[in-house]
Amino acid sequence: MKTEFNAKVLSFHGDHRRTRMTFREVAETVRDLRAPAMLVDVIPEDEIDAWWNDPGFPPIGGHEHHKGLMSSGLKLTMGQLQRIDGDGLMQGIADYFAFAATINGPMKQTRFVRFFERELGASPMKFGPCSELMLATKREYPPYDAAPHSFAPHCDSLDFGRDPRWPMKHNGEQLGAFVLIQRASNQAGFVLWDLRAGSRADLDGWANEYAETSSIAAAKSARSIAVNPTNGQMVVFNSRYLHGIERCDSTRYTIGTFLIEHGGGWRLFD
Ligand SMILES: O=C(O)CCC(=O)C(=O)O
């Protein structure tokens, strides 16, 4: 009998609903677009520090592209890798997999990764028979005032490499999942807009508009939800929807990953 969690089904219409569900039901609800996102009570308060300080995570380092965010994925999370266009692509892919190979072993022992293994049977997403994608990252959002969002509005899909030679094709639904370890003092929310990117070109168009004007016209007229998890809650969302993190006044901490279904089961990567 699988564990049932307290969960909240979120809706762009505002009719959010509380329920109890297994984590597999949560993942399937979001995968099937029956909800764009869900909130799940995952970590009891007295275990939050242990999840964050799990020794299996590598240290947090600088983030090259996002000024308001640092992560434990060196400079190359999947989102960073997908931005490379041109000569650096092969080197970037080699670095990403070399790094993943050194950190995934210890990361498999973390409470965060074991949660997905236990509740979903999730295993690492692979590229070819041998190379595992990086499993997850710890994220740190320092206080930030240079833009309205600490993490600018974006979408995530494993398919969305910028370079036409991008080799990891997977154009299906993708989930993002993160646990909130510590909220910012201004309670910066995770905002999700009812706008779905069909391709890298959609995403780049929105990103360029945001970089130039600090806003996105299509998002202004779209429905949105500002999700405000409490510490220890997990947000599970469909990552094709435009989403971002509001500007943080004090340091915000999360641990996150992405999930897709591939080869008959759920797979993790970041
Ligand atoms: O870790 C978080 O706060 C959410 C980050 C996010 O937007 C993402 O994973 O795409």
According to the model, what pLDDT value does residue 63 have? 59
The CB of 233 under 6 Å from ligand 1? The reply is no
Distance 225 CA to ligand 1 centre (A): 15
Q: Which fold has domain 5-269?
A: Jelly Rolls (2.60.120)
Mean pLDDT value across residues 178-205: 96
Q: Does residue 2 register a pLDDT over 90?
A: no
Residue ranges per domain, the chain? 5-269
pLDDT digits (tens, 9 = 90+) for 239-263: 999 999 999 999 999 999 999 999 9
According to the model, what pLDDT value does residue 64 have? 56
pLDDT digits (tens, 9 = 90+) for 55-114: 999 988 765 556 677 887 666 889 989 999 988 999 999 999 999 999 999 999 999 999
Nearest to 234 by CA among 16, 48, 61: 48
Percentage with pLDDT > 70 across the chain:
96
Q: Which two tokens stand for residue 55?
A: 């020794």
| Average per-residue pLDDT for the chain | 94
Nearest atom within ligand 1 for CA of residue 256: 1
pLDDT digits (tens, 9 = 90+) for 6-63: 999 999 999 999 999 999 999 999 999 999 999 999 999 999 999 999 999 998 876 5
Q: Does residue 175 register a pLDDT over 90?
A: yes
Long-range Cβ contact pairs of 99-102 (< 8 A, separation 24 or more): 99/73, 99/74, 99/134, 100/131, 100/132, 100/133, 100/134, 100/135, 101/131, 101/132
Cα distances from 124 to residues 41, 91, 266, in angstroms, run 24, 22, 9
Measured distance CA(102)–CA(177) in Å, rounded: 23
Token pair 């990361």: residue = 107
Please state the pTM of the whole predicted model.
0.95
Sign of CA dihedral 132, 79, 260, 1: positive
Mean pLDDT value across residues 205-224: 96
Q: Whose CA is nearest to atom 6 of ligand 1?
A: 244
pLDDT band at 178 (very low <50, low <70, confident <90, very high): very high
List Cβ neighbours of 263 (8 Å cut-off, separation of 6 or more): none
Distance 46 CA to ligand 1 centre (A): 23
Distance 1 CA to ligand 1 centre (A): 31
Measured distance CA(41)–CA(43) in Å, rounded: 6
